[in-house]
Structures are given as structure tokens and as C-alpha cells.
A and B are shown apart, each in its own frame.
Chain A
Amino acid sequence: MGIQINGNTNNINAGIGSLSIEDINELDIVGVATAANFKTGVSNLHSLGLTLSGGQLDVGSNIKIGTAGVITATSFAGSGANLTGVLSNIVEDTSPQLGGNLASNNKNILLPDSTGTNRIKFGTNEDLQIYHNGNNNKTYIGNKTSTDLLIENAGTNTDIVDDTGHYRARFIKDGAVELYHDNSKKLETQTNGTRIYDSLGIGADSTSDAFLSIRTPNGTSGSPSTKGGVIIRDGSYANGKLIDFQNSVGSSDISVDGSLNMNFANNHKIQLGDSQDLQIFHDGSDSFIKDTGTGALKVCSNLFRVNNAANSEAMIKAEENAGVTLSYDANTKFETTSSGVTVTGTCSATSFSGDGSNLTNLSTPLSYRNKIINGSMMVFQRGVGSNNYSGNHDGYYAGIADRWAIRAHSSMGTQTYDQNTNSPNNFANSQRIYTTGADGGNAGKYYVYDTRLEGQDLQDFEKGTSTAKSFTLSFYVKCNINRVFTCELRDLDNGRLCVQQYTTTNSNWNRYVLTFPADTTGKFDDDKNASLWVRFWLSAGANFKSGTSQTTWGSANDANICPGQTGDLGGRVGDYWYVTGVQLEVGDTATPFEQRTYADEFRRCARYCYQWIDDQQLGFGQVYSGSGYTKIFPPIPVNMRAKPSVTKNAPTGYWFVSYHGNSGYAGDRNVSVEGNSGDDNHQSANSFRIFVHGGSNQNNATTVWCLIHDTAGAYLRLEAEL
């Protein structure tokens, strides 16, 4: 049974626990309708999530219709055309923001060409901008402020490639930076530097018109642009320097100029060789080609010329398989030929050697340059054999060569002298001095072998003048004492001396050359007296060593003669000293020894000493003053220097014999030299006569034939030594 409302009871049914209103199209309730549950269809409304509470209608948990007119829902569907306050798209939002990540959702962000907009900009000041410029059709990643632009990559490689994947540049983590050309690597940084593949060009490109081009050797011929190696080209840079090495203050030391000339400043050298053996440079005054290292400086050419700076005049010419010519002012003066040498003009020299037999019109003698007489030890008039002398002996002795003397201090032991055949190859004789009894040493000891020269024979030294010449003394010595010895030149006219020393280092024959400086003080007297003393010091005591060696001319002082001499002949038995080939010349050059004939050398010696030995005739004389004297005009081979002293030797009591017919008278008679010695200072005393003293059995005015007695060792000797 139901409740009928408004005559239609069929539509309201009320059972126990429920009221059913059926067949009603519309239910109007004027008052409040409350119910524990509302249903739609077969479902209760609250079971569908539809709740109404506190003025808010909730549909499920996501749709809420509040009392303030706000509807919230998980989503809205259908046309929203009449909605207001809702943006139709993002363009309408002038300050859109992301509330979260913006996912592309398989879509693109499209930006059109930019002329200021249409860019992606980063940073507060829009520092980084990415865009495409439609005007020039270029795409930019631009850092628009003065901040650094970093491209950071935690991965291994950062590559710049083209649209085909070809590399343009690669930046490899913890490794190289590589630059590519057409996908071909051209530059790579490496641990110890940078490698450039193929060629490097500075200026233009690497194949042409570059100022500097370093290329792979891809060719050996053709134009420069195809050749390999290092090429520096002039290009259009003609007035400057292609290469310029400057010093610390910017001055150009070495450069290559625009005309391709290589320039070296003063004292900057081209040095060649491991030890800078060859050097070419200019020192500001002169130009040098110096070979300072090992080996020779060889100029190899089949035609070698030295011309003047203008290249208009030949000075030296040397031609392969031909000759060498030397010119003066473009005129050949000296030319080597297949047969020798041709000299055009005057030929002068310090000395000439070799065969001069074809020389003509000689105006300068080639001989007489050696001032020493008997320097080759050829003449020993007083005796050639070994002779012993002890203690003080001073002068001319048997066993000592003519013109040479011995000066020996009283402390000397025993010395032996002789002419010896032990000599250098081009000599036959030498003077030997050797010790057979040692001395004990003495501060005053002197032991000297010397010779004296006349002043009139020394004038060409020009001593004592502004044009004075030096003295060169050369000699051969063989000595077993490897020590220092002294040679002295003593100016006897002016009391001056100068010394030089030589060192014997082995017991062979050695030639020594000593040059004494010129002396502008003190002229040699132009006379026949002794002016120069040439002295070989064989030993010297402390008295002669205590000063300073007088290596330039100065006043004579014994203490300054032998400082530094260590040679001491006489101090040890068996020591020896040989000498020969002694030569004293004008100037500073030692020429080969001037060899002379025996006759020539003997005549020179006879000016100072001449003797007659056993059985040699003195010539005719005349008994004088009753039977008391015999005067003789002796035959002498050469004018003697001065009126001579005379001495004689009569080993058996006779030295003189005078014959009248076959009646002779012999005796050991005194003898003297008498008569005029010559008035002219330059004329030797050749007019003297010999007076034999003492009586004889021959009558006054008897002409007698005079001889030296024929016992060995008898002699009559004239001496006019210096």
C-alpha cells in the first residue's frame, strides 16, 4: 500500500523502512527535504562520491564546487568557449614561467630568423644568445657581454663537425686539440708541442705567396709553390726585413731583407764547424775569413780569383792545370809557369838560395851576410886535437877554433876542447867542449865561449840610430844537458848588453834562432877594434844570475846576464856541448847558414892570427947589426887587423933556422914585430917586419933564408886578435 498525494497514489509507495515515489516526473519540495540517503538509479548518491557538505558539493575527490563559486576538477573537457579568465595559448602570457620541467613531448621549439629577437638568451644580462640571423644567413652562439664563454664537457671528446659528420675540430679530454681541413687533420697539440701535418704558411697560404712556408717535401722541381722544405718568400714586402734576429735592445743583429740579402751586423759571425772552425765576419774595420780550427782552409775551384771591390781589377788568379799570377795595379808581376816562375820587374828578398849561376847584373851580393868568422868551425890554426885546460884560462887555445876564445873562471874543473867531426848534415866540423873534471861550483864562476867583431864590419846594424836593426843569431848545438843557456851580445864601445836564451831538450843537433832587438842607443865605432862580443854562456855562478835578465839593450851589468840559466857545463864529468853553424845577421830573419870555402874562411881568420909551423919558410931575411939580429919581411896571406904580437914555440930548443947557402944556424931566439903599423885607421898593419933577436954565426948584412925548425910543434905565430 502506498501514500496517495494529489490523487495519484500509485506513485507513492511506502513500505516498511522505505518510501517509493513512482511515476512522478517532478518532485517539488517547498520545505527542507532531508534523507539519510539519496539514490540515482540503483546507486546511492554518496556511494558515487557525491557529497554535499558545508555548502560544498564534492564529486568524487577531484571535483569540488565550493560556496565561493570556485569549481575545481582534475580536468575539464568540452568547449570552454564561454569560459572567462582562462588563457587560450602561451603567447598570450607576457611573462610565462615554468612551474616545472618543460618536456618537449616529441615536439620542437621553433625559433624563426633573428634580427634581435627570436633568440634563446641565457643569463641576467642576456649574455649568451643562440639564434639564426636571417640577414646573413648565419647561426650564432654569441656571448654578448665581456664574460668568458665556457663550453663544458664531462665526456671524452668535444667535436665540431659538419653536417656529414666530418671533423672540423676536436677537443679531446686530457689530450689533443685537433684542427681539420676537409676532414683531414692539419694541426694537433701534443704532449711536448704541436704537430702540423702537411704545410704551414704564414702570410697568405701554405702553397703560394706566403712570407713563410714550411712544407712537406712534395717535389724537387717546378715552381717554388710546389717545392718542399722551408720557404720564405719576398711577396710584396720589399722594403723591410723578412727575418730579423734582434738583440735585447732591439737592434737588428742578423736579418734577411726584402731584397733577400742576408745581413750580419759587426762582429756577428757565420761560424762553421763543431768548434767554430771557420768564421766569416766584419769587425767594423776589417772583414775576416778565419780558419781557427783543425785542418786547412781550402778554397776549391778550377779558377780562383781575388779581385778588387769593384770587380774591375784582378789581383790574384789561380787556374787549375795552369799557373798562379800575382798582379800589381792590374799588371802581372809574378807568374808560375811549367818551368818555374816568371817575375816581371824587380825581385828582392832577404836572401836567395839555390843555384844562382844564371843570375845577371847582380847589384846586391848574396854572401857576406854572416858577421861571424869561422862559424862553421873549419879553421883551428892553434891545433885541432883534444887539449885539457883547468882553472882560469882566458883567451885563444889549441883545440879552440880560430876567432873563438874561452873565458874560464878559476873555479873551473878540467875541460877538453877539440875540433870534432860530429856535426849536422850540412856541416863537416864542430867545436866540442866536454868536461873531464868537474868543478865544485862558485858564485863567481863564469864559463863562456865567445868571439869579437870589428866595429867597421857592423855598421849595417845602424846601432845607435833611429833606424837601428835587430840582430839575429842562429846556431846549431848538440848538448846532453837539457837546460836553459844564455847568449849575450855585448856592445864594447858603449858598455851595453842584451841577452836571449835557448833551451836544449834533447841530445840531438838542433838549430836555435835568437833575435835580439835593435838598439837606438850607442853607435858601434867605425874602426877595426872590437865593438861586439858574441858570447855563449856555458855556465854562470850566482853573481851573474842575481839581477833581471837583460832581454833588451841596457847598460852592462853582470847580474843581468844569466838570470834563469840552468845549464851548467863543467859541473859534471861527461857533459858535453858542441856548436857549429854560428851566424849573426842584420834583421829579424835567420837565413840558412852562409857556407864559405875553406880558403875564404881561412883568409878571414888570418887577419887575426897567422902562423908558420915546422919546416915552413918565413922567406928571406937579412942579418942586421953585426950578427945580432935577423929582420924578415914575412909573407902573410892577408893584411892583419893590427900590428900583431908574435909568439913562438921551440919544443926541442929550436924554432928558427937561417941559412946562408948551405950553412944554417938554428936556435930558440926571441922575436918581435917592428915597423910601421899603418897610418890609416882603416888600413891594416901589413908593413911590419919580424926581428929575430940574438946572435948567430952569420955576418952582418948577410941575406939568409929563414925557416921554422923542422921539429914537430915548432911554430912562429902572429896574433892581432880583438
Chain B
Amino acid sequence: MIITNAKYWRIPDSEVNGVKKVYPDSSIICDINGQYYGVPIDEENTHYIEIKRQLDAGELTIEPSDGL
């Protein structure tokens, strides 16, 4: 599985009862085998499992998410 252009993504901040809510990174935006993918950070998602494996193996780097 060839993964490129990986970048974390998180939901933009929101406000609940006047309290700002900041979300953690929730997805990784990347190309898998040349195809755009939004991969959730979920231990049961097979794409994420492969991304994590490549990340842990040093085969992949992921850009941090944009500040929102």
C-alpha cells in the first residue's frame, strides 16, 4: 500500500455554551495508491492500521494539521 501526502486533520473548533471546544486530530488526509483518502484515526480501520505501521516503521511521515 503506497501512502503519500499524509497530513493530519481535525474538526474545526466549535463553541458549546460559550465554551470553545477544540478537537484533536481525527483523520489523516492522504493518497493511497494515488487515490485521495480521508482515513479516520481508528484502530479498527485497516487503512489507519497500515498508516500507523508505516509511521512506526519510519516509512511514512505525516504533516501536522493546520491550525484552525
Contact B42 A643 (CB under 8 A): yes
**Pair B26/A672 contact, Cβ less than 8 Å:** yes
A624 partner, pick from B12, B27, B40, B42, beta carbons under 8 A: B12
Using a CB–CB distance below 8 Å, which chain B residues touch chain A?
Answer: 1, 9, 11-14, 26-27, 29, 32-33, 35-40, 42, 44-48, 68
Asked if B12 contacts A528 (CB within 8 A), the reply is no
Chain B neighbourhood of A677, CB < 8 A: 40, 42, 44
B45 x A646 contact (CB < 8 A): no
Q: How far is the CA of A225 from the CA of B34 in the complex (A)?
A: 105
Could you show 18 A-B contacts with beta carbons less than 8 Å apart? Answer: A393-B33, A530-B46, A624-B12, A642-B44, A643-B40, A643-B42, A644-B40, A645-B39, A645-B40, A673-B27, A673-B38, A674-B26, A674-B27, A677-B42, A685-B42, A693-B29, A719-B47, A720-B46
Question: Would you call A395 and B33 a contact (CB within 8 A)?
Answer: yes
Known interface pairs A672-B26, A674-B26, A674-B27. Does A647 touch B38 (Cβ–Cβ under 8 Å)? yes
Q: How many A residues are at the interface, by size bracket?
A: 20 to 34
Q: Does A648 contact B (CB under 8 A)?
A: yes
Q: B-facing mask of A667-682, CB < 8 A → 1, else 0?
A: 0001111100100000
* Nearest CB in chain B to that of A650: its residue: B36
A200, B54: Cα distance in complex, Å: 101
Question: Given the complex of chains A and B, what is the CA–CA distance between A641 and B42 in angstroms?
Answer: 12
- Shortest CB-to-CB span from A428 to chain B, Å, is 30
Contact A645–B44 (Cβ < 8 Å) = no
List, in ascending order, chain B residues with CB within 8 A of A292's CB: none
CA distance A578 to B13 in the complex (A): 52
Q: Which residue of A lies closest to B49 (CB)?
A: A529
Instruction: Tell which of A395, A642, A648, A691 touches B42, judged by Cβ atoms closer than 8 Å.
Output: A642
- The CA of A722 and the CA of B47, in the complex, are separated in Å by 9
Q: A672–B9 Cα gap in the complex (Å)?
A: 8
Is the beta-carbon distance between B11 and A691 smaller than 8 angstroms?
A: yes
**Inside 8 A of A624's CB, which chain B residues have their CB?**
12, 14
Determine if A628 and B12 form an interchain contact, defined as CB atoms under 8 angstroms apart. Answer: yes
Contacts A643-B45, A647-B35, A721-B46; is A673 near B40 (CB within 8 Å)? Answer: yes
- A647 to B36: give the CA distance in the assembly, Å: 6
> In the complex, A276 Cα to B15 Cα: how many Å?
94
Which residues on the B side are within 8 Å of A629 (C-beta)?
A: 12
How many A-B contacts at CB < 8 Å in the complex?
75
Chain A's nearest CB lies how many Å from the CB of B3? 11
Q: Let me know if A641 and B44 touch, CB within 8 A.
A: yes
B35, B36, B46: which has the most chain A beta carbons within 10 Å? B46
- Shortest distance from the beta carbon of A443 to any chain B beta carbon, whole Å: 22
User: Which chain A residues border B40 with CB–CB below 8 Å?
Assistant: 643-645, 672-674, 677, 688
Contacts A672-B26, A672-B40 given; does A645 touch B1 at CB 8 Å: no
CA distance A722 to B50 in the complex (A): 11
Q: Which residues of chain B have C-beta atoms less than 8 A from A528's C-beta?
A: 44
The verdict on A344 contacting chain B, using a C-beta distance below 8 Å, is no
The answer on a CB contact under 8 Å between B46 and A722 is yes
Docked complex Cα distance between A332 and B24 (Å)? 72
Q: A628-B12, A648-B36, A672-B38 are in contact. Are A643 and B1 (CB under 8 A)?
A: no
A395 vs B26: C-alpha distance when bound (angstroms): 24
Inter-chain contacts of A493 with B (CB < 8 A)? none
Within the assembled complex, what's the spacing in Å between the Cα atoms of A139 and B39?
131
Query: Would you call B27 and A644 a contact (CB within 8 A)?
Result: no
Let me know if B1 and A395 touch, CB within 8 A. Answer: yes
- CB contacts (< 8 Å) of A644 on chain B: these are 40, 45
Is A394 part of the binding interface, using a Cβ–Cβ cutoff of 8 Å?
A: yes
Residue of chain B at shortest CB distance from A689: B11
The residue on A at minimum CB distance from B42 is A643
**Are A645 and B45 also in contact (CB < 8 A) when A625-B14, A629-B12, A674-B11 are?**
yes
Contact check: which of A393, A642, A645 meets B38 at CB < 8 Å?
A645
Contact B38 A671 (CB under 8 A): yes
Give the residue name and chain of the B residue nearest to A668 (CB). Answer: B36
Bound form: Cα–Cα A188–B1 in Å: 101
Q: Taking the nearest CB of chain B, how far is it from the CB of A255, in angstroms?
A: 77
Alpha-carbon distance A474/B26, docked complex (angstroms): 42
